[in-house]
Amino acid sequence: MTIACDAGVSPLGTSDAALVRRTLDGDARAFALLVDRHAPACLRYATRMLGERADAEEATQEALLRAHDALHGYDDRMAFRTWLFAILINRCRTALRQRTRRERRFVHDRDALARSTIDGDASAIDLRQDIERALAALSADQREAFLLRHVEQLGYEEIAAATGAGVSASKMRVKRACERLKLLLGNVGRADAD
């Protein structure tokens, strides 16, 4: 059975900080609300980052459990989402380091991928496959920054806090990722020329 979790604010309008306090006081349902609120975005990021649903589920689960263990150290001057994503980013980085070459799903011949031409009229399914392959061709740092900025829509200050990179470095990674993805997907000029 699959359920679609609504990541919005709970009907009672309880803030993340309040739910953290209630969790520390022993309210298990408060942590369940935090999971329901943030797990979908975490799983989405991990799936896009790792390219493998099973790995993403494991990394997300570990991140949520580590966050649960470390709640006593959470400082509500940082957004809970940013704090949780910092944990998740580290879990994903660990998963990538542990992954062996033979387990990669996507083409890792960057030259072949760069020469490939993508039909400008591709359906949504084709575009989805194309972007996933293109993401896999990015460096881990660029893919990480791009996903956090344009998919998870974090601000650059948040990205810097979550990744440990500076704001300028994060902007440069996103810029280079966008340029590379545009090339891989095939820009308008190349499609017209073909």
Partner 1 sequence: MPTEWPDDSMEPPLDPRLARAVALLREPEPISAEWRAEVLTRARWRHRPARSRALVATLGAAAALCLAVGAGWWWRTSAAADHRAASAVRSAPPVHFAFSAPEARHVALVGDFDGWNPRGLPMRRAPDGRTWYVDVRLAPGRHVFAFSVDGGLRVDPAAPRAMEDDFGTPTSVVVVTSRGVN
Q: By the criterion CB under 8 A, which residues form the site for partner 1?
A: 1-5, 7, 23-28, 31-32, 35-36, 39-40, 43-44, 47-48, 53-54, 56-58, 61-62, 64-65, 68-69, 72, 120, 124, 127-128, 130-131, 134, 147, 150-151, 155-156, 168, 171-172, 175, 178-179, 181-182, 185-188
Rounded Cα distance between 152 and 131, Å, is: 16
Q: Is the CB of 15 or the CB of 187 nearer to partner 1?
A: 187
CB of 34 to partner 1, least distance (A): 10
Would you tell me how many other CB atoms lie within 10 Å of the CB of residue 145?
28
CB of 108 to partner 1, least distance (A): 20
Q: Is the CB of 7 or the CB of 78 nearer to partner 1?
A: 7
CB of 168 to partner 1, least distance (A): 7
- Distances in Å between the Cα of 113 and the Cα atoms of 130, 134, 147, 166, 190 are 10, 8, 20, 30, 15
DSSP 160-183: HHHHS--HHHHHHHHHHHHHHHHH
Rounded Cα distance between 26 and 170, Å, is: 38
Q: Is the CB of 92 or the CB of 134 nearer to partner 1?
A: 134
Contact predicate 124/107, CB 8 Å: no
Question: What is the DSSP code (8-state) at residue 78?
Answer: S
Q: Is the CB of 35 or the CB of 137 nearer to partner 1?
A: 35
CB of 61 to partner 1, least distance (A): 5
CB of 77 to partner 1, least distance (A): 20
Q: Is the CB of 14 or the CB of 61 nearer to partner 1?
A: 61
Rounded Cα distance between 162 and 159, Å, is: 5
Q: Is the CB of 111 or the CB of 121 nearer to partner 1?
A: 121
CB of 146 to partner 1, least distance (A): 9
Q: Is the dihedral of CA 37, 40, 41, 46 positive or negative?
A: positive
Q: Which of 51, 132, 44, 131 is nearest to 88 (CA)?
A: 44
